[in-house]
Chain A
Amino acid sequence: MTTSDLQFRHVTKTFGAGPSAVRALQDLTLEVNHGTITALVGPDGAGKTTLMRLAAGLLLADSGEITVLGLDVARSAREIQSRIGYMPQHFGLYEDLSVKENLELYADLQGIASRERSARFDRLLEMTGLAPFPNRMAGRLSGGMKQKLGLACALLRSPQLLLLDEPTVGVDPVSRRELWQLIRQFVEETGTTVLMSTAYLDEAERCDHIVVLDEGKVLTHRAPAEFLQAVTGRVFLLTKKGWTRRRLLEAVSPREEVVDAVIEGDGVRVVLSETLSPGSIASWKDLDPLEAAPVAPRFEDALLDLLRGERQTERRAGSEAAVISGATPVPDAQQRETVIEVHDVVRKFGAFTAVKGISFDVRRGEVFGLLGANGAGKTTTFRMLCGLLPPTSGKLKLAGIDVRRAAAAARARIGYMAQKFSLYGTLNVRENLAFFSRAYGLSGARRRRRMEWAIEEFQLASVLGTLSHALPLGYQQRLAFACALMHEPDILFLDEPTSGVDPLARREFWHRIDQLAARDVTVLVTTHFMAEAEYCDRLVILREGVILATGSPLDIRQQAGRDGKPAPDMEEAFLRLVAERPRAEEVRT
Chain B
Amino acid sequence: MSGSMRKRVMRMRGLIRKEFLQVLRDPSALGIAFILPAVLLLLFGYGVSLDAKSVPLAIVVEQPTAETTSFCGKFEQSRYFVPHHYRSLHEAVEAMRRGEVDGIVHLRADFGEQLRRPRPAEIQVILNGVDANTARIVSGYVQNVFVLWASEYLRTSGTQIAVPVRIEQRVWFNANVRSRNFLVPGVIAVIMTLIGALLTALLMAREWERGTMEALIVTPVSIAEILLGKMLPYFLLGMGGLLLSTFMAITVFDVPLRGSATVLIGSSALFLLAALGMGLFISSVARIQFVAAQIAIITTFLPAFILSGFIFDIRSMPRPIQWITHIIPARYYVSILQTVFLAGDVGPIVWPNVAVLALMAAFFLVATRRVTRKRLD
Which A residues lie at the B interface, using CB under 8 A? 15, 53, 56-60, 77-78, 81-82, 84, 86-97, 101, 104-111, 150, 153
Q: Do A101 and B220 touch (CB < 8 A)?
A: no
Q: Do A94 and B18 touch (CB < 8 A)?
A: yes
Q: Do B14 and A108 touch (CB < 8 A)?
A: yes
Alpha-carbon distance between A107 and B214 when the two chains are bound, in angstroms: 16
Q: Do A86 and B18 touch (CB < 8 A)?
A: no
Q: Among A57, A84, A90, A109, point to the contact of B211 (Cβ < 8 A).
A: A90
Q: Do A56 and B10 touch (CB < 8 A)?
A: no
Q: Do A53 and B376 touch (CB < 8 A)?
A: yes
A97-B375 contact in complex given A58-B214, A108-B11, A109-B221, C-beta closer than 8 Å: no
A109 cross-chain contacts in B, Cβ below 8 A? 11, 14-15, 216, 219-221
20 sample A-B contacts, Cβ–Cβ < 8 Å, listed by A number: A56-B218, A57-B218, A77-B374, A81-B220, A82-B220, A87-B215, A88-B215, A92-B211, A92-B216, A96-B22, A97-B22, A101-B18, A106-B219, A108-B17, A109-B219, A109-B221, A111-B7, A111-B10, A111-B220, A153-B215
A81-B219 contact in complex given A90-B211, A101-B21, A109-B11, C-beta closer than 8 Å: yes
Contacting A at CB under 8 A, from B313-352, are none
A94-B212 contact in complex given A58-B375, A109-B220, A111-B220, C-beta closer than 8 Å: yes
Alpha-carbon distance between A466 and B220 when the two chains are bound, in angstroms: 42
B13 at the interface (CB under 8 A from A): yes
A106 cross-chain contacts in B, Cβ below 8 A? 14, 219
Closest chain A residue, CB of each to CB of B16: A108
A95-B210 contact in complex given A109-B14, A111-B220, C-beta closer than 8 Å: yes
Q: Do A110 and B18 touch (CB < 8 A)?
A: no
Closest chain A residue, CB of each to CB of B22: A96
Closest chain A residue, CB of each to CB of B225: A109
Q: Mark B7-43, 1 if CB is under 8 A from A, else 0.
A: 1001101110110011001100000000000000000
What range describes how many residues of B lie at the interface? 20 to 34
Q: Do A97 and B21 touch (CB < 8 A)?
A: yes
B52 at the interface (CB under 8 A from A): no
Q: Nearest-CB distance from B1 to chain A (Å)?
A: 14
B213 at the interface (CB under 8 A from A): yes
Q: Do B215 and A92 touch (CB < 8 A)?
A: yes
Q: Do B377 and A92 touch (CB < 8 A)?
A: no
A96 cross-chain contacts in B, Cβ below 8 A? 21-22, 25-26
Closest chain A residue, CB of each to CB of B215: A92
Q: Nearest-CB distance from A202 to chain B (Å)?
A: 27
A58-B218, A91-B215 known; 18 new pairs, CB 8 Å cut-off, are: A57-B218, A78-B222, A78-B374, A81-B218, A81-B219, A82-B219, A88-B211, A92-B207, A92-B216, A95-B210, A96-B22, A97-B21, A97-B22, A104-B17, A109-B11, A109-B221, A110-B219, A111-B7
Q: Nearest-CB distance from B149 to chain A (Å)?
A: 66
Alpha-carbon distance between A78 and B225 when the two chains are bound, in angstroms: 13
B217 at the interface (CB under 8 A from A): yes
A93-B218 contact in complex given A59-B375, A109-B11, C-beta closer than 8 Å: no
B10 cross-chain contacts in A, Cβ below 8 A? 108, 111
Alpha-carbon distance between A14 and B376 when the two chains are bound, in angstroms: 13
Alpha-carbon distance between A109 and B15 when the two chains are bound, in angstroms: 8
Alpha-carbon distance between A15 and B210 when the two chains are bound, in angstroms: 21
A97-B215 contact in complex given A53-B376, A78-B220, A111-B220, C-beta closer than 8 Å: no
Q: Do B11 and A111 touch (CB < 8 A)?
A: yes
B25 cross-chain contacts in A, Cβ below 8 A? 96
A105 cross-chain contacts in B, Cβ below 8 A? 14-15, 17-18
Q: Among B15, B22, B215, B375, point to the contact of A57 (Cβ < 8 A).
A: B375
A88-B375 contact in complex given A101-B21, A109-B11, C-beta closer than 8 Å: no
Which B residues lie at the A interface, using CB under 8 A? 7, 10-11, 13-15, 17-18, 21-22, 25-26, 207, 210-222, 374-377
Q: Which of B14, B216, B218 lies at the interface centre, i.e. has the most chain A CB atoms within 10 A of its CB? A: B218
Closest chain B residue, CB of each to CB of A86: B218
Q: Nearest-CB distance from A93 to chain B (Å)?
A: 7
Q: Do A93 and B219 touch (CB < 8 A)?
A: no
If over half of B's interface residues share one DSSP class (helix, strand or loop), that class is named, otherwise mixed; here it is: helix
Q: Nearest-CB distance from B5 to chain A (Å)?
A: 11
Alpha-carbon distance between A93 and B10 when the two chains are bound, in angstroms: 19
Alpha-carbon distance between A77 and B216 when the two chains are bound, in angstroms: 14
Q: Nearest-CB distance from B248 to chain A (Å)?
A: 29
A84 cross-chain contacts in B, Cβ below 8 A? 218
Q: Which of A15, A53, A101, A105 lies at the interface centre, i.e. has the most chain B CB atoms within 10 A of its CB? A: A105
For the complex of A and B, the 6 pairs showing the least CB-CB separation, nearest first, are A108-B14, A92-B215, A92-B212, A111-B7, A82-B220, A109-B219
Q: Among A93, A97, A110, A153, point to the contact of B220 (Cβ < 8 A).
A: A110
B216 cross-chain contacts in A, Cβ below 8 A? 92, 109
A58-B215 contact in complex given A92-B210, A111-B11, C-beta closer than 8 Å: no
Q: Nearest-CB distance from A433 to chain B (Å)?
A: 29
A91-B211 contact in complex given A57-B375, A97-B22, A101-B21, C-beta closer than 8 Å: yes
Alpha-carbon distance between A84 and B215 when the two chains are bound, in angstroms: 12
Q: Nearest-CB distance from A26 to chain B (Å)?
A: 17
Closest chain A residue, CB of each to CB of B13: A108
Q: Do B377 and A59 touch (CB < 8 A)?
A: yes
Alpha-carbon distance between A153 and B14 when the two chains are bound, in angstroms: 14
Alpha-carbon distance between A89 and B376 when the two chains are bound, in angstroms: 14
Alpha-carbon distance between A202 and B212 when the two chains are bound, in angstroms: 29
Alpha-carbon distance between A531 and B374 when the two chains are bound, in angstroms: 40
Q: Do A59 and B376 touch (CB < 8 A)?
A: yes
Q: Nearest-CB distance from A341 to chain B (Å)?
A: 40
Q: Nearest-CB distance from B22 to chain A (Å)?
A: 6
Closest chain B residue, CB of each to CB of A96: B25
Alpha-carbon distance between A56 and B213 when the two chains are bound, in angstroms: 13
Q: Do B18 and A97 touch (CB < 8 A)?
A: yes
Alpha-carbon distance between A97 and B207 when the two chains are bound, in angstroms: 13
A77 cross-chain contacts in B, Cβ below 8 A? 374
B7 cross-chain contacts in A, Cβ below 8 A? 111
B220 cross-chain contacts in A, Cβ below 8 A? 78, 81-82, 109-111
Alpha-carbon distance between A78 and B374 when the two chains are bound, in angstroms: 9
A15 cross-chain contacts in B, Cβ below 8 A? 377
Q: Nearest-CB distance from A167 to chain B (Å)?
A: 13
Alpha-carbon distance between A91 and B7 when the two chains are bound, in angstroms: 24
Alpha-carbon distance between A92 and B212 when the two chains are bound, in angstroms: 3
B14 cross-chain contacts in A, Cβ below 8 A? 104-109
Q: Which of B211, B220, B221 lies at the interface centre, i.e. has the most chain A CB atoms within 10 A of its CB? A: B220
Q: Nearest-CB distance from A469 to chain B (Å)?
A: 15
Closest chain B residue, CB of each to CB of A112: B10
B21 cross-chain contacts in A, Cβ below 8 A? 96-97, 101
Closest chain A residue, CB of each to CB of B222: A78
Closest chain B residue, CB of each to CB of A88: B214
Alpha-carbon distance between A86 and B217 when the two chains are bound, in angstroms: 10
Closest chain B residue, CB of each to CB of A153: B215
Q: Do A60 and B377 touch (CB < 8 A)?
A: yes
Q: Do B11 and A86 touch (CB < 8 A)?
A: no
B26 cross-chain contacts in A, Cβ below 8 A? 96
Alpha-carbon distance between A180 and B255 when the two chains are bound, in angstroms: 66
Alpha-carbon distance between A84 and B218 when the two chains are bound, in angstroms: 8
B15 cross-chain contacts in A, Cβ below 8 A? 105, 108-109
Alpha-carbon distance between A81 and B214 when the two chains are bound, in angstroms: 12
Q: Nearest-CB distance from B289 to chain A (Å)?
A: 15
Alpha-carbon distance between A121 and B29 when the two chains are bound, in angstroms: 30
Alpha-carbon distance between A57 and B375 when the two chains are bound, in angstroms: 7
Closest chain B residue, CB of each to CB of A165: B214
Q: Nearest-CB distance from A495 to chain B (Å)?
A: 23
B17 cross-chain contacts in A, Cβ below 8 A? 104-105, 108
Alpha-carbon distance between A90 and B214 when the two chains are bound, in angstroms: 9
Closest chain A residue, CB of each to CB of B8: A111
Q: Nearest-CB distance from A230 to chain B (Å)?
A: 36
B212 cross-chain contacts in A, Cβ below 8 A? 92-94
